[in-house]
Chains A and B, each alone.
Chain A
Amino acid sequence: QVQLQQWGAGLLKPSETLSLTCAVSGGSISENYWTWIRQYPGKGLEWIGETSHSASTNYNPSLKSRVTMSVDTSRNQFSLKLRSVTVADTAVYYCVMSSNTSSNWFDPWGPGTLVTVSS
């Protein structure tokens, strides 16, 4: 059973780069797509994008200019970088495994990392 564990800096200043990493255990990172989702304080969820071991990526157009996702197959990890953060990027960030189907659902989810952007 796949489990996800994530880490990264929780407090950033405006204009800095958000950097999060997610480790996959119980499965191979080469077998699925891997997604990042964030949740604002008001509870709404936003899809940030997805990546795979083949370096295929698909980003939310609203974030595309600032986002980079990558996979490290040797470590069974994937990562998210979001540049030039602002207060509006304050949220809980989740790493998630995407189902390997055309009907794309998310399971399991990592525990989440609260990222606060404040000057």
Chain B
Amino acid sequence: QSVLTQPPSVSGAPGQTVIISCTGTSSNLGEGYDVHWYQQLPGAAPKLLIYANKNRPSGVPERFSGARSGASASLVITGLQAEDEADYHCQSHDSSLNGDVVFGGGTRLTVL
């Protein structure tokens, strides 16, 4: 059971927009801890996609964006492409666990 809640799967057609949610509680996202997102392509290690809620590392396309509001966060992918098919994980910290790292269960994005 993951501390942060993500939908197990989402899907969309090429060109569409998909939103992946990450829901926390008052001891993690709701307490103001930042959320970070990782993309994991099939057979590969996770890769940092969004850090500190909304920032893209160098090389990440602008069609990936993130936002956090209260105890929830979202990853938005616009202009969906076949290469975006991957697992997406959110990560934060939790004060009820001494500030330790917590993850969501991951969301499998399927491009139809």
Contacts and interface: CB of A to CB of B under 8 A. Distances in A.
Interface of A: 35, 43-47, 58, 60-61, 94, 99, 103-112
A105 B45 contact: no
A104 B93 contact: yes
A94 B45 contact: yes
B21 interface: no
Contact of B45 (A46, A58, A110): A110
B106 A45 contact: yes
A47 B103 contact: yes
A97 to B, nearest CB: 10
A105 B51 CA distance: 7
A105 B36 contact: yes
A22 to B, nearest CB: 12
A103 B97 CA distance: 16
Contact of B51 (A35, A94, A99): A99
Q: Considering the complex of A and B, which 5 residue pairs feature the smallest CB-CB distances, nearest first?
A: A47-B101, A107-B48, A103-B34, A105-B36, A109-B45
What secondary structure prevails in chain B residues at the interface with A? strand
A75 B51 CA distance: 30
A19 B108 CA distance: 31
Nearest to B106: A43
Nearest to B34: A103
Given A45-B106, A105-B36, A61 B91 contact: no
Contacts of B46: 45, 94, 106, 109
B56 to A, nearest CB: 12
Nearest to B2: A44
Given A43-B40, A105-B34, A105-B48, 8 more contacts: A43-B105, A43-B106, A45-B89, A47-B102, A61-B97, A94-B46, A106-B48, A107-B48
